[in-house]
Each structure stands twice: as C-alpha cells, then as structure tokens.
C-alpha cells in the first residue's frame, strides 16, 4: 500500500507532508528530520493499548545448516556453518525494511559489510571468538551448575558485556574413574560421559562396554574419582554450549575458524543520510511510525508503544550530531548487547 493511501488514523498529521514530499520525488532532508524530532519531543504522550501480559513459547531447535554470504562490495564468500535460517531470514528482513522505508522518503541503505570476513575482521568489529576460563564461582550453589575449570579454552558463540555463550574447544568431558581403564577402555555395561565431574553433571553421551575414549591429563584440582576424556570427532557437531559470566573469561582472541564462527548479525548497520548506526530489530517499525506521523507503533505482541518513548533512538538514527548516552553499568540496557540470541 502506498503511503498516500493510508488513513489519517494510521498516519496522523504526517500524511499531507509525506504525500507532498513523495510528489516532489525527493527524500526528507536532515533539517526536516530534525524539525520533526523536535516536534515529537514537544508532543504529549498518547493513550496506548496494552498487549498481552503473558504468552506461551515454543522451544527453538538448534539450526546447524550452513549459510554462505556473498559480499556485495568485494564478492568474497563467507561461510557460517550454523544458524542458516536465522541469518538468511534476518538479512532478508532488514533488506526489505530498508527498501520499504525508502518509499516513505528516507535516504536509507543497509550496510552488510559486517557479514564479510574479508571486509571486516572479528577484531575490527569487537567480537571476541576465543577465550579462557580465568575464575570460577565461589558459592556451592553456583559451582554445582558451572561446568568449567580455570584454564579451560572456549570458543565464544556470542559475546555480551555480562554473559557469553561458549562451547568447549577441546571437547573434554568426564567419566567416573571406575568405568575406564588406564588405556581408555570403557568397563561398564553402559558408561555415561558427563559435562562435569559429578553424578549431577549432564549426561552428554553414553557408550557401551568395550568402547574406547582418549584419557586426558589431569589438572590441578581435578577430583580423584573422575577422569577427563576427549570425545570422537563424530560428536563435535553436538558440542555442549553454556552461558558463562563474562567476568570469568579472559585471554580473548579474535581468530575465526571451525569452532568459532559468530553470525555477526548484531553488527549490521543502517546508513541514513550518511550516518551509520548498528541495526536494532524494532528500528523499522519506529521509523515508519515517525515518518508517517503515527503516535504509536506495535510491538512483538501487538502492544502499543508511544513513538515518543523512542525519541533518543530516533535521534541516534537520524541526527548526525547526536551521540547516544552509554548505559549505566548494571542497568537493563547495559546487558542488552545487540544480537545476543547467538547473533554476534
């Protein structure tokens, strides 16, 4: 539907200005956008309709299919071995949103260079890919669910200021010492391989009697009744992932490879009137409502959110002289790293 065909209820007072602009075949200028931002700042808050307060969720299954990105700038191919559907769907969505916003008089393009490893390195983007466990929880309760030891090398699936999603690089697990011989032969009828040296540890795999696993050297602090083992290559695609507080990690590096291939979705950027800003998932909804003069935009569960609530984000996107304030440490915003969903 063309913007001029929308009803006044949908676009408010912005419809006349928008139709005139499109009739002239031009985009909003920076001065016009800044004037609209000032007008929004001075406007009253509208009454809004609340969305549902609770909902049911369907568990998402792991997506292991590979995605191959062909760079529009240099033509290089970048392969992502996991989350093909996630990357493909979100990239298509952002491209469509940029095209849609252009029909509303906005000079906007999507900068996809972050998806290309040749154009943008992980270090340049600030996405650590590997690290080392440098400390552990101190409380008994937290220790029970912490599956790592100081010195463990990890690949970082997604990086956040407070938490990281990590996976083991060497794929070490644990077997009870009485069920494995000195040369790695399994002795029990069914031997459980666990993610931590405890009967409470998650059972990662089961092997029959007579199977063989590689015994790994013990480390300082390892319990005497458990043995570290390496898993066969056939288990690597099902490697155990875990959420680890970022403060427990150190020794960061930025080499991407087989076990560290962040999707980089969280580093895609809008370029609006020459200003580059990292994409956030609701940007297109907010911008469309702002450009058309609507006073609210619909959230994920159809809840109505005043456009004025997003004034700072609009200024960040549209005003070249505006710099967004940094989140206060410990605040909700401080823990919302773009692309947490395993997207970095």
Q: What is residue 90's predicted lDDT score, i.e. its pLDDT?
A: 92
Q: Report how far residue 323's alpha carbon sits from residue 35's, in angstroms, rounded to the nearest whole number.
A: 18
Q: Report how far residue 300's alpha carbon sits from residue 286's, in angstroms, rounded to the nearest whole number.
A: 12
Confidence of residue 328 (pLDDT cuts 50, 70, 90): low
Confidence of residue 24 (pLDDT cuts 50, 70, 90): confident
pLDDT in tens, 199-231: 877 787 888 888 888 898 888 888 999 999 887
Q: Report how far residue 11's alpha carbon sits from residue 128's, in angstroms, rounded to the nearest whole number.
A: 43
Q: Where are the domains of the chain?
A: 3-46+60-116+262-335, 128-167+244-261, 172-238
Confidence of residue 327 (pLDDT cuts 50, 70, 90): low
pLDDT in tens, 35-86: 888 888 888 888 776 655 545 544 444 444 678 899 999 999 988 877 678 8
Q: What average pLDDT does this structure show over 334-343?
A: 39
Q: What is the token pair recorded at 268?
A: 């895609």
Q: What share of the chain is helix, strand, coil (3-state, %, to 5)?
A: 30, 25, 45
pLDDT in tens, 256-296: 876 667 778 889 999 999 999 999 999 999 999 999 999 99
Q: What is residue 151's predicted lDDT score, i.e. its pLDDT?
A: 85
Nearest one of 207, 146, 136 to 175, comparing CA atoms = 207
Q: What is residue 332's predicted lDDT score, i.e. its pLDDT?
A: 37
Quick check: 150 pLDDT over 50? yes
Q: What is the pTM of this model?
A: 0.69
Kindly tell me the number of DSSP H helices and DSSP E strands found in the chain.
8, 17
- Residues recorded for the chain: 344
Q: What is residue 329's predicted lDDT score, i.e. its pLDDT?
A: 45
Q: What is the C-alpha R_g of the chain?
A: 25
Q: Which residues contact 75 (CB under 8 A, 6 or more apart)?
A: none
* Better-scored residue on pLDDT, 127 or 233: 127
Quick check: 333 pLDDT over 80? no
Beta strands in the chain (DSSP E): 67-70, 77-80, 108-111, 130-133, 153-158, 163-168, 172-176, 190-194, 203-208, 214-215, 226-230, 241-245, 249-253, 269-272, 275-278, 296-298, 304-306
pLDDT in tens, 90-102: 999 999 999 999 9
The percentage of residues in the chain with a pLDDT greater than 70, rounded to a whole number, is: 78
- The mean pLDDT value of the chain amounts to 80
Quick check: 12 pLDDT over 50? no
């Amino acid at each position: 539907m063309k913007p001029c065909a929308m009803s006044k209820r949908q676009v408010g007072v912005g419809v006349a200005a928008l139709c005139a602009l499109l009739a002239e075949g031009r985009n909003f200028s920076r001065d016009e956008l800044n004037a609209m931002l000032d007008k929004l700042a001075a406007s009253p808050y509208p009454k809004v309709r609340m969305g549902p307060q609770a909902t049911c969720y369907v568990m998402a299954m792991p997506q292991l299919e590979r995605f191959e990105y062909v760079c529009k700038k240099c033509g290089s191919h970048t392969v992502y071995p996991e989350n093909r559907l996630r990357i493909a769907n979100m990239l298509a969505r952002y491209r469509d949103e940029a095209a849609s916003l252009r029909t509303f008089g906005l000079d906007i393009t999507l900068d996809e260079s972050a998806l290309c490893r040749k154009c943008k390195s992980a270090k340049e983007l600030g996405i650590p890919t590997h690290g080392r466990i440098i400390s552990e929880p101190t409380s008994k309760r937290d220790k029970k669910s912490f599956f790592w030891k100081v010195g463990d090398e990890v690949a970082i699936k997604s990086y956040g200021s407070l938490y990281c999603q990590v996976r083991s690089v060497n794929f070490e697990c644990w077997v009870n010492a009485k069920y494995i011989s000195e040369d790695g032969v399994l002795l029990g009828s069914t031997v459980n391989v666990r993610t931590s040296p405890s009967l409470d540890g998650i059972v990662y795999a089961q092997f029959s009697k007579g199977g063989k696993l590689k015994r790994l050297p013990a480390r300082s602090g390892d319990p005497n009744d458990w043995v570290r083992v390496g898993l066969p290559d056939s288990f690597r695609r099902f490697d155990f992932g875990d959420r680890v507080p970022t403060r427990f990690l150190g020794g960061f590096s930025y080499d991407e490879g087989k076990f560290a291939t962040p999707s980089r979705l969280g580093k895609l950027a809008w370029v609006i009137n020459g200003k580059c800003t990292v994409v956030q998932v609701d940007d297109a909804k907010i911008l469309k409502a702002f450009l058309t003069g609507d006073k609210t935009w619909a959230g994920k569960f159809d809840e109505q959110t005043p456009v004025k609530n997003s004034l700072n984000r609009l200024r960040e996107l549209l005003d070249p002289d505006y710099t967004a304030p940094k989140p206060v440490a410990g605040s909700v915003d401080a823990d919302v790293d773009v692309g947490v969903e395993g997207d970095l």
